[in-house]
Structure 1
């Protein structure tokens, strides 16, 4: 293994160790020694890659944001229907949330009072929802008279609520919970013609997350 390969592996191990510490203990209680021990490296190796804890947290957020972008892009490119893309993306993100500690920690850091977030993953998700509902309006698949901005606010509030509650109980971000939500909300969003073609289960796409 080359020196560069070792450095990449060490950085990856530190990011995942930091994410696990933030996820389990919160930002304030996640010490640098806990992070370096979890990664199996020395404190010196940690400081070679990251100046301080805030720098590690920012890197965790950035990787989580990259995953969010990857998931959204993957779904959007494969779906002609904006409403289907919205449902599928929420399912894919929920799966990533349950399987990828970096994604969980990235969203959690945005709510930490002790940490000044460099990104806002919830805002990124809100913008994506707005964009897809605006696209659905252009596709004439939204119910007549609906404000896509009001509908976006409702979808964001519900899905972010699932994510927050899912920190304590994973059932909130299960496929069952998301499917129930979309079965309830899609008839209020979609025209009857569009609704017949929509799948609320998110079963059309595989999981898109980093391991």
Structure 2
């Protein structure tokens, strides 16, 4: 799979290609927590030198996806219940803030486009392919909520934590009820259309709490 993903990232630098490829493999669960990542093996599979791989792994360590252990190597980070709770707590504070700042600038046409895609997906039968498509729509939706806030640092933090949440979902929830999340997103969109800041915030928080509870229930079961 590594070689197929790299074909779609030809315009990126080698280190960015390596970063995005390894990160995706972690998020979708192909590289499990505790697995050691061998630079030479990854470099060979991507047909690049070890330098960009090393840079990518250093970046992924800063983002919390891998852990570099001196004299041992780099492994995919383990996930704890507390980490899930911590990220959820931060998202519940920062996402409503970003959405509030973005609200006056969110494009009606962009919002309508995502709403239409969610409604079409909701009417389709549940499948792995449709679940994966939901995650793409979910990422686009949260980017729409955050990108107009005018705070690059805030956007980067929320992008990273959003990726972590999807990582947790893929690892711990075998049959993720993504149609329930579509309903959550449609409620958020309705609040945005009404330009009601408090309602936008409360619907975002409710959605994040539901997802967090699902993940934690699977971790402790």
Name the TM tier (shorter chain). 0.3 to 0.5
Greater fraction strand: 2
State the structure with more CA Rg: 1
TM superposition score normalised by structure 2 = 0.32
TM superposition score normalised by structure 1 = 0.33
